[in-house]
Amino acid sequence: MAGRRRGAGGAGFRLAVTAVLAGMVGLVGCGGAVQVQDTARADVQETLDRRANAVLAGDTAAYRDTGSADASTPGNLADVPLASWTYTLARFEREGTHATADAELQYRISGYDSAPVVTDRILTLELRGPRWYVTADRPAPNTGEQLWEQGKVVVERGTHSLVLGVGRPRGALRDYADLADQAVPAVSSAWGSGWARRVVVLVPKSLGDMGALLGAPAAGYQGIAAVTTGEAGAVGKAPADRIIVNPDAFGALGSFGRQVVLTHETTHVATRSETSQSTPLWLSEGYADWVGYRDTGRSAAQAAPELERSVRLGQLPAALPTDADFGFSGDPGRLAQAYEGGWLACRMIADRWGEAKLNAFYRAVGAHQQRAGAVESALGSVLGTTEEKFTADWRAYLRAQLG
């Protein structure tokens, strides 16, 4: 019996040893040293999840508990109706108790965004005891700031608009909301109702702050009253567009100019899902200007003074504007003529073929799989003309309208 007990005990010991060794598979390296699994990446994601929850809850104390020295974000966003806010880790590099990471921040505004704003962030982190803390959270290179990084966001709601401003009086934000509320039905009248029919307008404190939001030198937007952000050509969903105002240039406009600008930018929001890399700027910008001027009664000469000057001097453009002609940092006169030329091309289509054909042409160009051949194909299928004939007709139209 003693022998049997020794046999049983030996078998049990061997089984136990086998189980322990099996549990250590994957923890033993080639050199035989036991490796402890590094959970840092998962721990950092947990910190970012708590950070996101703190923003959504407007909880400054909980946000500060994730380690940021600057805990102003929840307070700056307190009045903004956020629907979601998430961080997703991408690159993660650890050196002892310190780490750097790339993270993708996604957030949506309730009632306005059908898809999230997506922006890249660079994080630095420090391990203190068992937990990781964020020590810096900043935009990735060539990525714009977010409005709340510039200060407390003041919110003004319109019927069809949400205006978010920093450093601007509430009355001024109300004016932007009123302009946007007029722009939305004007755009729907031209383009149709198959879009969200609401816009988000960002009003920073200065031109410099506008440039920071766009992640670009402010000087390039010196005379630009507003721009629209948003990724063109999204499939299956409309991205989250923002109209960003240059308060300096916008403030220099009269009431007529302000309404045209807001209507122009709202048109970009409405047409975004039908705009793609196949759409040339003369068409996307020209169409937005066509909607902006559509019901104003302005003549071609009144709305295209730079091009009129050239035509009267006998300098008729040989071809439709190229994308390069729309560069903000180039010659202002060339830029103005590019916008005017695109607008008159769209106006000619509406005059000759009708507004429904203009909309169909816009959609057909955007639906093309690539830029090459997009305009030529849509000219043939929608308007029954050729690129050569269209260009010749456009030049004749300029001469008739501006000569």
**CATH number of the domain to which 54 belongs:** 3.10.450.50
Same domain as 182, residue 136 = no
Query: CA 287 to CA 264: how far, in whole Å?
Result: 8
Is residue 8's pLDDT more than 50?
A: no
Task: List the beta strands (DSSP E) in 158-292.
Answer: 161-165, 199-203, 226-228, 243-245
- Torsion, Cα of 48, 53, 56, 60 (10° steps): -80
Q: Give per-residue pLDDT as tens, 257-273.
A: 999 999 999 999 999 99
The strand pair at 199-203 and 226-228 is best described as: unpaired
Phi, psi of 5 (to 5 degrees): -60, -40
Q: What is the predicted pLDDT for the residue at 239? A: 58
Same domain as 281, residue 364 = yes
Query: CA 9 to CA 90: how far, in whole Å?
Result: 51
**Out of 69-73, 170-174, 192-196, least confident range:** 69-73
Most confident of 11-15, 232-236, 365-369: 365-369
Q: Give 130 or 8, the one with higher predicted confidence.
A: 130
| Joined tokens for residue 57 | 């809850």
Number of domains in the chain: 3
Same domain as 258, residue 281 = no
CA-closest candidate to residue 398, choices 305, 294, 307: 307
**Out of 161-165, 169-173, 183-187, least confident range:** 169-173
pTM listed for this prediction: 0.86
CA-closest candidate to residue 361, choices 307, 280, 303: 280
302 in a domain, yes or no? yes
150 in a domain, yes or no? yes
Same domain as 126, residue 103 = yes
Same domain as 193, residue 122 = no
Domain that includes residue 155, residue range: 145-263
Is residue 23's pLDDT more than 90?
A: no
Same domain as 360, residue 244 = no
CA-closest candidate to residue 368, choices 379, 358, 357, 352: 379
Confidence band for 22, pLDDT divided at 50, 70 and 90: very low
Is residue 219's pLDDT more than 80?
A: yes
Query: CA 282 to CA 391: how far, in whole Å?
Result: 12
Domain final position from 76, 111, 143:
143
* Buried-exposed string 100-137: b where 16+ CB fall within 10 A, e elsewhere: ebebebbbbbeebbebbbebebbbebebeeeebbbeeb
Average pLDDT, the chain: 89
Confidence band for 13, pLDDT divided at 50, 70 and 90: very low
Q: Give per-residue pLDDT as tens, 246-260.
A: 999 999 999 999 999
Q: What percent of the chain has pLDDT over 90?
A: 81
Domain final position from 117, 143, 169:
143
The identity of residue 135, as a single letter, is T
Same domain as 202, residue 130 = no
Same domain as 76, residue 57 = yes
DSSP three-state, residue 201:
strand
313 in a domain, yes or no? yes
268 in a domain, yes or no? no
